[in-house]
Amino acid sequence: MASPKRSWSLSLMPPEIIQEIFYKTPAEALVRAKPTCKEWYALLTDASFINEHFQRSKEHFIRIFDTVKIMDPVTATSSVSPIPNELLQHPYTIHNLVYTRMVHCDGLMLVGYRGWKYRSDGSRISNLALWNPVLKNLRWVEPPVETITSTDYFGIGYNSDGYKIVRFTTRPFEVECCEDVPEVEIYEFKTSSWRTIGGEVDTDVEITSNSVAVMGNMYWTAYRVETPEEEFIRVFDFSDETFKDICFSPTSYVNSHLSCFNGDNLSLLQQDQASRNIEVWVSSKLGDGDVTFSKYFSLSRPDLPALRVRDDARPVYCFVKPKSVIVWCVEVEGKGTDKACTCCTLYEIGEDGVKSKRETERSYVRDYSRAFRCGYVYVPSMIPLPWIFCDVYLEMNYMILLLCADVTEHDVGKSLNYFELNLREGWPQMLLFIWSWYAAFNVMNVRIVPNTVPQAEGLGKAKTPILSEAFGKTKTPALSEGLDDDSFLGYIDGSTPRPLPTVTTQTGELVTEAANPEFAKWMRRDQLVMSWLFGSLTKDALRSVYGLHLLPTIKPTTQLRNISKTF
């Protein structure tokens, strides 16, 4: 008798084996795998898993031209996706953005444009954004209040208090009343605001476009105006918010390119423009005292390619094998003819010469000058944008204080008849959290801000939380300027539509447990949330109550209780 067929499923494997498999799976694939089952979703959204997966991920190259291309430098395979609408529809169009400064930090890309534009009402349009290409999340940073100059520089990093952005100018005298222009400002993600610090920037120093963020600090190559041949590295240390300089011994070439090595060292690739000789230098480990450079390898051959064919060209490189680099650069063919084109070429260069050469892209465009910024080093990750906690949980914290207080509508004021929830990131667990709050408290209407509620990431249409004026009639999100109390219906798990628990209230009054047991259940849970916010309950205990990883903490750790103290 034939044995019955055995079915096999990955979910039947031990959890530790599944976790190890996921560690070796690309972030793009894991994002698609999130909705597969509840256990996988809990694992893939866990902060410790996200951080460990990022630490194990390899460096890739990212390029924005007609599309967003993320390429594995070893296999030359690429994932291609459309350019985010936020970039295409922004006044700084993608044709300008190729000339911007982009910096990678923990799987996030800081996108900055040197310049500024104004709206018709005189307000300034942001020229700075933070972007996770894998999660397809992008958000523009609020512009600083003070004057922006054409010589502004931006950097990203972090300290124990969270991610931050530094902005400074090297030419304050370009602006009238320059004595009122702060030279150094810090953007705090936890408060979504800029603040001025006391540091000053030398006006005789030129900062180049070669920059890299490593271990929470920002590094630029620089030189003094009177001695341009003597380059050094300028550091902004986010721990004490000061500038420092690193002197190095390598020969100062025109073509110097700064990058990271092994995650905690700097590297410098230099090429002589005339002879095309190449030298690669690496630094001592950052954070271990004075930083020094030593030669990693050098190469002198007549057939070496020119890695930088124009002043506005920017090759990008990374380390994969010992004593070699993989360089992605742009070359020109048919210059001066009607068939001119740019070619993106991937070189593997070691101490023995050019080991391999592959053409990865060819562009026939009339204005091919915008194609020379080849790309940037990028590590794909599932790390969310740092605002994700501030936007929702700070507002929920405020909502807790408001709804649990004995107030009347008159006390609160007409402006609070609607409570705005700016759900910019669309995380399903956040929608569930808000759904539970709305189920518990039917005191206020909830206004969903139009065009800011994306479909919950990774969930199918049938599983997307429903926002519909017609109670339960549709399974597609319907954004409304002002929803009635009974308009918020949640399809959290794709199950049959169900009405929310009803709560009979009068203005400023909360029902008792005897009057509504369902309300009491939510109230008991949310009292735990309040306890955690104010430090009397641990995060793990809160998670065990909800049964979901609702409150992840992404490196660098930013505790919500610390954030709440700022409000």
- Segments making up each domain of the chain, as ranges: 10-51, 58-89+248-380, 387-564
Per 3-state DSSP, the chain is made up of helix, strand and coil in percentages (nearest 5) of: 25, 30, 45
d(CA 452, CA 448): 8
Q: Which amino acid is located at 520 in the chain? A: A
Own/partner pairs, 284-292, CB within 8 angstroms, 24+ separation: 286/214, 286/215, 286/217, 287/215, 291/246, 291/266, 292/248
Peptide bond before residue 450 is cis, with ω within 30 degrees of 0: no
Could you tell me the two tokens for 447? 């206004």
pLDDT of 165 reads: 94
Contact (Cβ atoms closer than 8 angstroms) between residue 79 and residue 70: yes
pLDDT of 52 reads: 94
Transcribe 332-374 into DSSP letters.
Answer: EESTTSTT-EEEEEEEEEETTEEEEEEEEEEE--SSGGGG-B-
pLDDT of 23 reads: 93
Contact (Cβ atoms closer than 8 angstroms) between residue 526 and residue 538: no
pLDDT of 96 reads: 52
Contact (Cβ atoms closer than 8 angstroms) between residue 335 and residue 277: no
254: nearest Cα among 218, 219, 221, 220? 221
Contact (Cβ atoms closer than 8 angstroms) between residue 223 and residue 231: yes
Q: Which amino acid is located at 293 in the chain? A: F
Q: Which amino acid is located at 75 in the chain? A: T
pLDDT of 521 reads: 43
| Strands of 449-523, DSSP E | 466-467, 488-489
Q: Distance between the two ends of the chain, CA-based, in angstroms?
A: 72
Grouping H, G, I as helix, E, B as strand and the rest as coil, residue 486 is: helix
Q: Rounded to 5 degrees, what are φ and ψ at 462?
A: -70, -15
Write out residues in the chain with pLDDT < 70, as ranges: 1-11, 35-36, 89-100, 114-116, 145-151, 171-182, 199, 249-254, 336, 365-373, 388-567
Contact (Cβ atoms closer than 8 angstroms) between residue 391 and residue 422: yes
CB-count burial class (<10 Å; 0-12, 13-18, 19+) for 103: buried
pLDDT of 518 reads: 43
Q: Which helix (H) or strand (E) holds 490?
A: none
d(CA 408, CA 506): 9
Contact (Cβ atoms closer than 8 angstroms) between residue 104 and residue 213: yes
Longest dimension (CA), the chain: 93
Spell 218-227 as b/e; 16+ CB within 10 A means b: bbbbbbeeee
d(CA 61, CA 542): 39
pLDDT of 11 reads: 64
Residues in the chain: 567
Contact (Cβ atoms closer than 8 angstroms) between residue 430 and residue 423: yes
Instruction: Give, in order, the Cα–Cα distances in Å from 159 to each of 111, 166, 190, 218, 404.
Output: 20, 12, 12, 12, 34
Contact (Cβ atoms closer than 8 angstroms) between residue 283 and residue 231: no
Residues with Cβ within 8 Å of 3's Cβ and at least 6 positions away in sequence, in order, are none
Grouping H, G, I as helix, E, B as strand and the rest as coil, residue 91 is: coil
The reported pTM is: 0.67
